[in-house]
Amino acid sequence: MNIALSITKTIHDWLYSIMPETAAMYAEMVLIALVYLGIFAVAGLFLVLLERRVAAWFQLRIGPNRVGFQGLLQTMADAIKLLSKELTGTDKADKFLYNLAPYFVIISSLMALSVFPFTQEFQAFDINIGIFFLIAVSSIGVIGILLGGWSSNNKFAMIGAMRSGVQTISYELSIGLSLLTMVLITGSLQLSEIVEVQKSGWLIVQGHIPAIIAFMIYMIAGTAETNRAPFDMVEAESELGAGFHTEYSGMKFAYFFLAEFINMFIIAAIATTVFFGAWLSPFGITESIPVLGVFWFLLKALILVFLMMWFRWTFPRLRVDQLLTLEWKYLLPLNLANIVIMALLVWHNLTISF
């Protein structure tokens, strides 16, 4: 097994000392899963809070500032409220699929989190097909959206789900291809390897022009992938009410909501890892303190998250046919050309590295 479980050596050793080897391995995995679940459920809530404060800032408002210091506990309170809410549903909904859909969405986004290198030590699962795994897992989420929209027996939800399908399938291509462009430099899909390569310059610097183009395409496609404005065709509240989750309430709705924010973080985290050197500090200023890697990783990811929030609160929404035109007529050909340029660059050693 090519799994490097390396969060804390102590727990690892302790578990192996009190249990037989197989049981210890399972116990360790469950433990790590629980830790991740805990951290990111809470982190997701804080992302919601961040979004609300950022939105308020863009909109000349103050935003939530009453529950806890500067509203820090607001989304916690909201989550507790959502937990206590009644779960309603339509009469003729396909009950099994209707209940299954939120779990698809939330689980796929939590799964993707497991491979990120937050620092050199803090990585749950360093798999050698890291980026491939990320793309594959994060696209499972759309099944949940499709199921949710289809099974809730609501025409608005159905239209939303269909739009989601068409949108995700299209933009998956751009995400994959733009990451592939960067893989040409690293020569590896393993995330720890990719970070290793970036010790001689972040990839966006190493690959200069094609890398910047790839990053732009990636951010556009990533915003579309998370169904956020200006690509929120799936929800499009002025057109479809609430889109695919029209008929969901309480915690089931909260899963969709939370998943959107975790997905946004994932998109930003992938970009951080692939373009901006993951946990590496700029110019190696804090190389001697490895723990600060978490800080740098989160800082970079949050800046990109902020960028996506900026998009959302500034741009109007595209129409569904314009969305597809953008992908198939502009981004995809540009992306393919970009790969060729990058390949030539790498072949002739024109990349910049320090």
Does the footprint of other proteins cover residue 13 (CB under 8 A)?
A: no
Chain centroid, CA 123 distance in Å: 16
Does the footprint of other proteins cover residue 320 (CB under 8 A)?
A: yes
63-71, 109-117, 138-146, 229-237 -> range binding other proteins (CB under 8 A): 229-237
Does the footprint of other proteins cover residue 48 (CB under 8 A)?
A: no
- Nearest distance from C-beta of residue 62 to other proteins, angstroms: 12
23-31, 99-107, 143-151, 224-232 -> range binding other proteins (CB under 8 A): 224-232
Residues 159, 203, 205, 308: which binds other proteins (CB under 8 A)? 159
Q: How far is CA 170 from CA 166, 206, 212, 316, 330, in A?
A: 6, 28, 21, 20, 12
**Helical H segments across 188-331, by residue range:** 191-197, 203-206, 208-225, 237-240, 250-275, 292-314, 320-325
- Nearest distance from C-beta of residue 149 to other proteins, angstroms: 14
Residues in binding contact with other proteins, number by CB under 8 A: 27
Does the footprint of other proteins cover residue 105 (CB under 8 A)?
A: no
Q: Write the interaction track for other proteins spanning residues 233-262; mark x where CB under 8 A is met and - where it is not.
A: ---xxxxxx---------------------
Q: Contacts from 233-241 at CB under 8 Å and sequence distance 24+?
A: 233/160, 233/163, 233/164, 233/167, 233/317, 233/318, 233/320, 233/323, 234/145, 234/160, 234/161, 234/163, 234/164, 234/167, 235/160, 236/160, 236/163, 236/317, 240/156, 240/157, 240/159, 240/160, 241/156
**φ and ψ at residue 25, rounded to 5 degrees:** -65, -45
Helix (H, G, I), strand (E, B) or coil at 68: coil
- 325: which residues sit within 8 A by CB, 6+ positions away? none
Determine the Cα–Cα distance for residues 277 and 268; give it in Å rounded to an integer: 12
Which one, 53 or 300, has the nearer CB to other proteins?
A: 53
90-98, 176-184, 290-298, 312-320 -> range binding other proteins (CB under 8 A): 312-320
Residue 218 and residue 271 in contact, taking contact as beta carbons nearer than 8 Å: yes
14-22, 125-133, 170-178, 308-316 -> range binding other proteins (CB under 8 A): 308-316
- Nearest distance from C-beta of residue 248 to other proteins, angstroms: 17
Q: Write the interaction track for other proteins spanning residues 175-214; mark x where CB under 8 A is met and - where it is not.
A: ----------------------------------------
Which one, 117 or 243, has the nearer CB to other proteins?
A: 243
Chain centroid, CA 284 distance in Å: 26
Does the footprint of other proteins cover residue 328 (CB under 8 A)?
A: no
Does the footprint of other proteins cover residue 317 (CB under 8 A)?
A: yes
Residues 9, 23, 59, 353: which binds other proteins (CB under 8 A)? 59
Q: Is 315 left (phi over 0), alpha (psi -120 to 50) or beta?
A: beta
User: Where along the sequence are the contacts to other proteins (CB under 8 A)?
Assistant: 55, 58-61, 155-156, 159, 229-230, 232, 236-241, 313-322
